[in-house]
């Protein structure tokens, strides 16, 4: 393979994360114009605060969901973990600032156990992630519905500040969420387990043949996903002042988080995707929501818009992924690969990746 | 124990059978450090099985394997890798979405202070690549952006990172262009200089003679000979490999077969993958297509079948211009395609034999379902499918019986044109003969047949006319009974050198 041909083939192609942020930019521009058209300022402190606040809860859940999806699994139990952790925290704190640490640790610990359960069911019992977490989610939901008839517990003022304060227009909760995202980014990039999450999601066989414990990354991803869902629950408890058994399911965090991850360019089958893509996906949803609120769009129409965005995004990614088999000839029969590789046989037998992949 | 003079790997009396069929009978060979050991034989001679036993993919039924004088028992490929026995398979074990360095060090990522040291990983990968004399692969580039040849280099680099003392290569040049083969030669030279023992499996005799110090010949699962390459000529080697005449294997045209008018004619056909296709398929004629992997053979079949239609030129079927824009249109027009990958493209594995046999009829000609349903048992029994009944799921059938179900599915449509892409891949000899016989019967009944095959004896033994594809074009048309050398010369574009490239 001559160097020129190699270079030509690696011509810069926008990564999926770059596309997500371009789309975000587009949504912001269109949103700003629309908001401006009704005489409001999209870039006002208040509006920016609304958007960033809207990002934080879904952001926590989606960051965890990204990990799980990268391994090729799914987590449908997140909304119930969100609700459960809000209740555990609020009931443990009982309005007393001295109990804050205890409440937070209990909520995170229980969530980690649920995640461990999810991970073990997926890896050891070999139940598909979709079903395993659906089942565990129902179990948690059943517990919540049996034990709680409504909101319970209360969180102290000090804890409520987390959800209420901000640095300028940037809410503290959003900063924490982004910090968690940054940690997860480092985890994926700089730890073996992080690398192995991609490997297991990319191909279990290759991972096994390379000597990986293929269960471990999946279990770790599930645990971390439940823990970030619990962080979302803690944030909601801080905003509401109480724990609520329905706050998670009302938010629709299961499907919305999966949608945000996929919108962020992560492949649902696993093995490919980034945390920052997911954050971009979450931001697109937050901007859309904010614009539609300002425009006072009918709530049912909101879901229509969200749905269109998700389907369109995946259609775009799939279209790109399908062009695996490179054309050998152009529309009029001219050789497309000859021009940049010279008359050598480098465009000849064997360079067809689709053929070789079979 | 003196490692310097003794073999690094020695196998003796290796035997293996699958489902009662012996595929390897008491085979032994010895690999020495710094030596390239060629392993040759026809398809089905047992080369792959032998390699996989050495790699720890299969466990042997009998025999011994010693690494540096110590008996070893590999039950997992990783065990073999760790012991220094690496294998570069034709199907790569790489993660396409990850970088070169991440693939090379997968599972053994270098760390400093508990964190993966991505820079050290890239540096060490670059160093390994440099040892192979490769400067043009960026350790940070994604594997999916690399060519097949470059991916193969990544596999070799991964083997090297395990400090492999033995590297087996399964048809490493099968998918490479000429200049890439040169590159591989260079890499093998460097591996030799490092004292690595190389087991080199190839069909291309020129490479075997260029590279190998020792040559082992297998035939029908048994050892024919194992000895130094010097003094062994091409003719002698081919004789040892073949040892059986082709005509006993391939049935002749049946009496009453008449080559008639063209059923399909393509003029100037082309799309993104093939071009300048001028081809007539006549009733009663078997046309064979040869060519290297990636030469556009499968794409040609897909164009005829409307899966990736011709975008240029003209296709005339049964006297009418017919653009065949989709497989559905092709099936309606009487074209059938037996795809090369029957599990992925030919069968619904979880469905019954009957449902698979009726698949096309039900979806394209629902009105004929009732009649077809009655005829299915007869078609299946005439093909001698052995199954536990029509309700058995096809995934539990052997490869040969699965292929017969695919054939039954298409016979039910009463096609005028039958295209077979690698029709005998991965099936036993008995089933192969059944497929050949069926082709002859179809030809007698006036069906036009296009057969694509990588096995040259098959192309030569079955075809009335042989077309050779190269680089998306029909490179040459040869008569029935042409030599393998001439077919291969056309396929590789080395018409001048007809001696070296005998392929079986």
Q: Where are the domains of chain A?
A: 51-315
Is residue A252 over pLDDT 70? yes
From the list B141, B150, B471, the residue facing A349 with the nearest CB is B471
Q: Do domains B9-247 and B260-334+417-422+450-495 have the same CATH topology?
A: yes
> A83-97, B74-88, B418-432: which has the minimum mean pLDDT?
B418-432
Residue A80 vs residue A12, higher pLDDT: A80
From the list B81, B175, B270, the residue facing A350 with the nearest CB is B175
| DSSP category for residue B416 | S
- Where does chain A have alpha helices with state H? 3-9, 16-37, 45-70, 78-93, 100-123, 129-147, 157-164, 172-190, 192-202, 204-209, 215-240, 247-251, 253-263, 275-294, 299-322, 338-341, 353-357
Q: What is the mean pLDDT of chain B?
A: 86
- Model confidence at B382, pLDDT cuts 50, 70, 90, reads confident
Distance of residue B133 Cα from the nearest chain A Cα, in angstroms: 14
Cα–Cα dist A92/A138, whole Å: 24
Cα–Cα dist B193/B56, whole Å: 26
Sign of the alpha-carbon torsion through A12, A17, A19, A24: negative
- Model confidence at B304, pLDDT cuts 50, 70, 90, reads very high
Question: How large is the ipTM?
Answer: 0.81
Q: Which residues of B touch A321 (CB under 8 A)?
A: none
Segment A67-88 shows an average pLDDT of 96
- B424 to each of A64, A137, B150, how far by Cα in Å? 48, 49, 30
The pLDDT, as a whole number, for residue B10 is 92
From the list B109, B145, B174, the residue facing A192 with the nearest CB is B109
> A90-99, A161-170, B19-28, B461-470: which has the minimum mean pLDDT?
B19-28
> B296-300, B449-453, B487-491: which has the minimum mean pLDDT?
B487-491
The pLDDT, as a whole number, for residue A227 is 98
Among A100, A99, A65, CA closest to A82 = A65
Is residue B1 over pLDDT 90? no
| DSSP category for residue B156 | H
Is residue B286 over pLDDT 90? yes
Segment B167-192 shows an average pLDDT of 84
The pLDDT, as a whole number, for residue A306 is 87
* Residue B379: Cβ within 10 Å count: 18
How far does chain B reach from its first CA to its final CA, in angstroms? 40
Distance of residue A230 Cα from the nearest chain B Cα, in angstroms: 26
Cα–Cα dist B76/A210, whole Å: 11
- Model confidence at A321, pLDDT cuts 50, 70, 90, reads low
The pLDDT, as a whole number, for residue B37 is 95
Segment B250-262 shows an average pLDDT of 88
Is residue A323 over pLDDT 60? no
Distance of residue A277 Cα from the nearest chain B Cα, in angstroms: 16
Is residue B92 over pLDDT 80? no
Among B192, B164, B171, CA closest to B67 = B164
Segment A321-328 shows an average pLDDT of 56
Segment A105-119 shows an average pLDDT of 97
- Model confidence at B98, pLDDT cuts 50, 70, 90, reads very high
Is A192 in contact with B150 (Cβ distance < 8 A)? no
Segment B377-393 shows an average pLDDT of 82
Contact B501, B204 (CB under 8 A): yes
Residue B361 vs residue A279, higher pLDDT: A279
CB-neighbour burial class of residue A299 (10 A; exposed 0-12, middle 13-18, buried 19+): exposed
CB-neighbour burial class of residue A179 (10 A; exposed 0-12, middle 13-18, buried 19+): exposed
Q: Which residues of A touch B292 (CB under 8 A)?
A: 349-350
- Model confidence at B334, pLDDT cuts 50, 70, 90, reads very high
CATH topology of domain A51-315: ABC transporter involved in vitamin B12 uptake, BtuC (1.10.3470)
The pLDDT, as a whole number, for residue B285 is 94
CB-neighbour burial class of residue A293 (10 A; exposed 0-12, middle 13-18, buried 19+): middle
Distance of residue A69 Cα from the nearest chain B Cα, in angstroms: 15
pTM: 0.76
The pLDDT, as a whole number, for residue A316 is 81
Find the closest chain A residue to B273 by CA distance. A328
Segment B402-431 shows an average pLDDT of 88
Sign of the alpha-carbon torsion through B329, B331, B334, B337: positive
Q: Which residues of B touch A271 (CB under 8 A)?
A: 95, 97
From the list B276, B312, B493, the residue facing A345 with the nearest CB is B493
Q: Kindly tell me the number of DSSP H helices and DSSP E strands found in chain B.
A: 17, 22
Is residue B337 over pLDDT 90? yes
Is residue A229 over pLDDT 60? yes
The pLDDT, as a whole number, for residue B64 is 92
From the list A205, A212, A346, the residue facing B177 with the nearest CB is A346
**In percent, how much of chain A has pLDDT > 70?**
85
Find the closest chain B residue to A3 by CA distance. B136
Is residue B19 over pLDDT 80? no
Cα–Cα dist B220/B242, whole Å: 10
Q: Which residues of A touch B107 (CB under 8 A)?
A: 196, 199, 207, 210-212
- Model confidence at A327, pLDDT cuts 50, 70, 90, reads low
Among A327, A340, A358, CA closest to B275 = A327
Contacts of A98 (CB under 8 A, 6+ apart): none
The pLDDT, as a whole number, for residue B500 is 40
From the list B77, B107, B294, the residue facing A212 with the nearest CB is B107
Residue A44 vs residue A12, higher pLDDT: A44
Segment A180-197 shows an average pLDDT of 96
Is residue B493 over pLDDT 80? no
Q: Which residues of B touch A198 (CB under 8 A)?
A: 95, 97-98, 102
Is residue B247 over pLDDT 80? no
Cα–Cα dist B291/A119, whole Å: 48
Is residue B183 over pLDDT 50? yes
Instruction: Compute the count of residue pairs across chains A and B with CB atoms less than 8 Å apart.
Output: 155
Determine the Cα angle at B80 with ends B74 and B86, to 5°.
145
> A285-294, B159-168, B263-272, B393-402: which has the minimum mean pLDDT?
B393-402
Is B472 in contact with A9 (Cβ distance < 8 A)? no
Segment B36-42 shows an average pLDDT of 88
CATH topology of domain B260-334+417-422+450-495: Rossmann fold (3.40.50)
| DSSP category for residue B494 | -
Contacts of B348 (CB under 8 A, 6+ apart): B355, B356, B359, B394
Is B107 in contact with A345 (Cβ distance < 8 A)? no
From the list A191, A349, A353, the residue facing B295 with the nearest CB is A349
Is residue A72 over pLDDT 90? yes
Segment B174-196 shows an average pLDDT of 85
CATH topology of domain B9-247: Rossmann fold (3.40.50)
Segment A294-317 shows an average pLDDT of 87
Is B471 in contact with A344 (Cβ distance < 8 A)? no
Distance of residue A124 Cα from the nearest chain B Cα, in angstroms: 21
The pLDDT, as a whole number, for residue B144 is 87
Is residue A6 over pLDDT 60? no
Q: Give the residue extent of every domain in chain B.
A: 9-247, 260-334+417-422+450-495
Identity of the highest mean pLDDT range in A3-17, A340-354, B76-90, B96-110: B96-110
The pLDDT, as a whole number, for residue B17 is 84
Contact A266, A179 (CB under 8 A): no
Is residue A158 over pLDDT 80? yes
Is B179 in contact with A1 (Cβ distance < 8 A)? yes
Is residue A351 over pLDDT 70? no
- Model confidence at B182, pLDDT cuts 50, 70, 90, reads confident
CB-neighbour burial class of residue A247 (10 A; exposed 0-12, middle 13-18, buried 19+): buried
- Model confidence at B244, pLDDT cuts 50, 70, 90, reads low
Is A190 in contact with B493 (Cβ distance < 8 A)? no
The pLDDT, as a whole number, for residue A164 is 87
């Amino acid at each position: 393979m001559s160097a020129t041909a190699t270079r030509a083939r690696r011509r810069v192609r926008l990564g999926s994360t770059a596309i997500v942020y371009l789309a975000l930019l587009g949504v912001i521009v269109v949103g700003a114009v629309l908001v401006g058209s009704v005489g409001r300022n999209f870039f006002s402190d208040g509006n920016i605060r609304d958007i960033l606040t809207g990002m934080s809860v879904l952001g926590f859940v989606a960051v965890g969901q990204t990990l799980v999806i990268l391994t090729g699994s799914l987590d449908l139990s997140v909304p119930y973990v969100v609700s459960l952790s809000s209740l555990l925290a609020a009931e443990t704190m009982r309005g007393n600032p001295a109990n804050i640490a205890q409440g937070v640790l209990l909520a995170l610990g229980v969530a980690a156990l649920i995640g461990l359960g999810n991970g073990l069911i997926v890896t050891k019992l070999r139940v598909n992630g979709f079903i395993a977490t659906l089942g565990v989610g129902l179990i948690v939901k059943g517990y919540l519905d049996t034990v709680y008839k409504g909101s319970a517990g209360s969180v102290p003022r000090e804890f409520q500040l987390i959800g209420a304060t901000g640095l300028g227009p940037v809410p503290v909760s959003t900063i924490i969420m982004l910090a968690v995202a940054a940690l997860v980014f480092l985890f994926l990039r700089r730890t073996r387990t992080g690398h192995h999450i991609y490997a297991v999601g990319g191909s279990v066989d290759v991972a096994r043949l390379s000597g990986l414990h293929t269960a471990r990354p999946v279990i770790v991803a599930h645990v971390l996903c439940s823990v970030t869902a619990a962080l979302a629950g803690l944030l909601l408890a801080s905003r509401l002042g109480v724990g609520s058994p329905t706050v998670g399911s009302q938010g629709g965090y299961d499907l919305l988080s999966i949608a945000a991850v996929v919108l962020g360019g992560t492949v649902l089958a696993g093995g490919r995707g980034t945390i920052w893509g997911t954050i971009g996906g979450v931001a697109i949803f937050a901007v859309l929501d904010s614009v539609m609120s300002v425009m006072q769009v009918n709530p049912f129409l909101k879901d229509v818009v969200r749905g269109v965005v998700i389907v369109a995004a995946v259609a775009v990614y799939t279209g790109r992924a399908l062009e695996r088999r490179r054309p050998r000839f152009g529309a009029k029969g001219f050789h497309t690969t000859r021009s940049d590789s010279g008359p050598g046989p480098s465009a000849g037998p064997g360079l067809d990746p689709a053929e070789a992949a079979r | 124990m003196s490692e310097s003079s003794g073999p690094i790997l020695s196998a003796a009396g290796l035997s293996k059978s699958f489902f009662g069929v012996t595929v390897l009978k008491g085979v032994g060979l010895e690999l020495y450090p710094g030596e390239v050991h060629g392993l040759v034989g026809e398809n089905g001679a047992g080369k792959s099985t032998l390699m996989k036993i050495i790699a720890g993919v299969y466990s042997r039924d009998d025999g011994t394997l010693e690494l540096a004088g110590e008996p070893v028992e590999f039950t997992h490929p990783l065990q073999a890798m760790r012991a220094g026995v690496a294998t570069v398979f034709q199907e790569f074990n790489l993660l396409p979405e990850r970088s070169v360095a991440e693939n090379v060090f997968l599972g053994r990522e270098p760390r400093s202070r508990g964190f993966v040291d991505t820079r050290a990983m890239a540096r060490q990968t670059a160093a390994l690549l440099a040892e192979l004399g490769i400067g043009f692969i960026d350790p940070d580039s994604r594997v999916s952006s690399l060519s097949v040849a470059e991916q193969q280099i990544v596999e070799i680099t991964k083997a090297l990172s395990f400090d492999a003392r033995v590297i087996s290569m399964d048809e490493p040049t099968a998918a490479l262009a000429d200049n890439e083969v040169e590159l591989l030669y260079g890499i093998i030279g460097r591996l030799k200089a490092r004292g690595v023992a190389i087991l080199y499996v190839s069909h291309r005799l020129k490479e075997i003679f260029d590279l190998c110090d020792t040559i082992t010949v297998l035939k029908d699962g048994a050892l024919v000979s194992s000895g130094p390459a010097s003094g062994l000529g091409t003719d002698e080697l081919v004789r040892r490999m073949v040892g059986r005449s082709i005509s006993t294997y391939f049935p002749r045209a049946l009496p009453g077969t008449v080559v008639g008018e063209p059923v399909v004619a393509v003029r100037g056909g082309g799309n993104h993958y093939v071009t300048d296709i001028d081809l007539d398929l006549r009733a009663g004629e078997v046309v064979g297509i040869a060519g290297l992997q990636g030469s556009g053979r499968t794409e040609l079949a897909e164009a005829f079948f409307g899966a990736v239609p011709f975008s240029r030129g003209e296709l005339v079927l049964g006297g009418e211009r017919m653009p065949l824009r989709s497989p559905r249109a092709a099936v309606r027009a009487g074209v059938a395609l037996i795809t090369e990958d029957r599990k992925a493209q030919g069968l619904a594995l979880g469905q019954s034999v009957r449902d698979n046999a009726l698949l096309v009829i039900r979806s394209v000609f629902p009105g004929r379902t009732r009649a077809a349903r009655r005829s299915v048992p007869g078609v299946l029994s005439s093909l001698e499918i052995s199954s536990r009944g029509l309700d058995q799921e096809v995934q539990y059938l052997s490869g040969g019986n699965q292929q017969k179900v695919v054939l039954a599915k298409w016979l039910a449509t009463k096609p005028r044109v039958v295209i077979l892409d690698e029709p005998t891949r991965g099936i036993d000899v008995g089933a192969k003969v059944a497929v050949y016989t069926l082709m002859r019967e179809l030809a007698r009944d006036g069906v036009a047949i296009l057969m694509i095959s990588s096995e040259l004896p098959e192309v030569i033994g079955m075809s009335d006319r042989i077309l050779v594809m190269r680089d998306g074009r029909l490179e040459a048309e040869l008569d029935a009974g042409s030599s393998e050398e001439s077919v291969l010369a056309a396929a590789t574009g080395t018409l001048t050198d007809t001696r070296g490239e005998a392929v079986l």
